[in-house]
Amino acid sequence: MDWQQDYEQKCISLDEVFERHITGHQKIYTGGLHVASTLIKEMLKRVSEGALEGLDLYGNWMNGDFPFDQLQVTPEQFRYHTYFAGPEERKGFGSKCITHIPVHFSDVGALLASLDLDYALVQMTPPDAHGYCNIGPLGFEPSGVKCAKHIVAQINRNLPRVFGDSHDFHVSQIEAFFVCDEELENLVLPDPTPEELKAAEYVVERVDDGSTIQLGIGGISNAIAKGLESKKHLGAFTEMYSDALVDLQMKGVIDNSRKNFMPGKSVGGYSTGAKRLYDYINENPAVYFTSYDVVCNPYYIAQNDNLISLNTALSVDLTGQVCAESIGTRQYSASGGQFDFVRGAKMSKGGKSFIAVTSVAHTKNGPVSKIAPILASGSAVTSLRNDVQYIVTEYGVADLRFADIPTRAKRLIAIAHPDFRDELTAEAKKLGFLY
């Protein structure tokens, strides 16, 4: 049987997916970001109606609108185990149907291999001329798909086909296909604030021509990317390949010519953003996606000389501990690849790592300093103070590498918002950080 005939015979309806495959009492990998939304929503509908039970889902940040907060179920009926939370997962934490798995992105492959997954339920591109479907720009996905006993693919013509180390799956490897096009997230970020622009300036002036960069998403990251237009011969080895990196690569700022590990192309883990990003990475050999086993592995990160890691945080205490994932005990996002890149940059020859934040969080209870005497009770420590190098705000840069506690406290207070510096100094003395 040729692959076209095999593909046609394996194409089934939405109802048949749940009559033949997702029938209950199973462990299912759903991936993240560009998920098979139509299949997942139908699954949740059947769970809510009591037609499906005994499901354990494993995945991360789902783009879309999912009624997790409306599910009235027990853990035995349904539980979604996520290793990175987005807005939909945060809704579900409150309803107890979602639970968090603390794990570095470099360990996601090992996590998924340990689960004995029954099914992978993921989006893929239509098959190419040789019968290969592509999972798109999702580096956390290869491990989950390969570890599952069976694969059901939702075929979506809008998903970009990317070059990657483990992103193609032949029709013969896939149990069933459900054809349903879905629009991808079209993420448009607001312009950076004046505070974000100022903080970005301090970072940009410390990035040398020829460096290899890891850059996330958000106001400060976009401001940093804009500032990097003044640089030359940058490379990219990054957990997220974003819209901002598209601009830098199209303008020739990122040319990967001096990158000594996997040279000549940008290396990314995942992409989500605006349509122009998806159009750019589609079948573009200049952008290469790898599994998180590679792109988020500190060993491989460190193979890049002059690796610049750029991340952000929710809070930093006066000893240099960084929380980027929880508000007290309330899980907000996850550790992701931050510590992987902080550690990788530390190991890189000439590497530098930056945690860049604006100095104040504007909450419903008023302004709160992101530089805190101690982290809020129950906060997760995302990056260890032993590994953190530069903390940056709009008020300057604190270099913490090899600094003792009093020196760290003084440097961090100096870059806190002026309205909080006296309070921070007084608290630091009470805690014994200053004397």
Q: List, for residues 4-42, the tens digit of each pLDDT value.
A: 999 999 999 999 999 999 999 999 999 999 999 999 999
Cα–Cα distance, 259 to 353 (Å, whole number)? 17
Cα 227 from chain centre = 23
Q: Predicted confidence band at 187 (pLDDT cuts at 50, 70, 90)?
A: confident
Instruction: Give the model's pLDDT for residue 95.
Output: 81
When pLDDT is averaged across residues 101-107 and rounded to a whole number, the result is 97
pLDDT at 207 over 90: yes
- Please confirm, yes or no, whether 239 is among the known catalytic residues: yes
Packing angle, helices 219-227 and 194-204, rounded to 10? 50
What ranges make up the beta strands (E) of 13-114? 26-33, 55-62, 78-82, 98-100
Q: Which residues pair with 152 in a beta bridge?
A: 121, 176
Beta strands 390-393 and 396-399: pairing type?
A: antiparallel
Amino acid at 414: A
Element (H, E) at 39: helix 37-49
Cα angle 394-398-399, degrees, rounded to a multiple of 5: 145
This prediction has a pTM of 0.95
Amino acid at 290: T
| 174 Cβ contact list (under 8 Å, min separation 6) | 10, 124, 133, 151, 152, 153
Instruction: Give the model's pLDDT for residue 96.
Output: 82
Interval 217-230: pLDDT, tens: 888 999 999 999 99
pLDDT at 231 over 90: yes
Q: Which of 239, 325, 394, 427 is catalytic?
A: 239
What ranges make up the beta strands (E) of 205-359? 212-215, 235-240, 266-270, 287-289, 307-311, 315-317, 322-323, 326-327, 330-331, 352-356
Dihedral angle of Cα 220, 225, 226, 232, to the nearest 10 degrees: 150
Cα angle 100-371-206, degrees, rounded to a multiple of 5: 95
Q: Predicted confidence band at 189 (pLDDT cuts at 50, 70, 90)?
A: confident
When pLDDT is averaged across residues 131-148 and rounded to a whole number, the result is 96
When pLDDT is averaged across residues 73-85 and rounded to a whole number, the result is 95
Q: Predicted confidence band at 53 (pLDDT cuts at 50, 70, 90)?
A: very high
Instruction: Give the model's pLDDT for residue 135.
Output: 98
Higher pLDDT: 94 or 421? It is: 421
Interval 125-139: pLDDT, tens: 999 999 999 999 999
Cα–Cα distance, 282 to 293 (Å, whole number)? 22
- Which of helix, strand or coil describes residue 77? coil
Count of other CB atoms within 10 angstroms of residue 41: 15
Instruction: Give the model's pLDDT for residue 217.
Output: 80
- Length of the chain equals 435
When pLDDT is averaged across residues 145-150 and rounded to a whole number, the result is 97
Cα–Cα distance, 121 to 177 (Å, whole number)? 10
Interval 378-399: pLDDT, tens: 999 999 999 999 999 999 999 9
Q: Predicted confidence band at 345 (pLDDT cuts at 50, 70, 90)?
A: very high
pLDDT at 1 over 80: no
Delineate the domains of the chain, giving CATH numbers in brackets.
3-179 (3.40.1080.10), 194-431 (3.40.1080.20)
Cα–Cα distance, 347 to 217 (Å, whole number)? 24
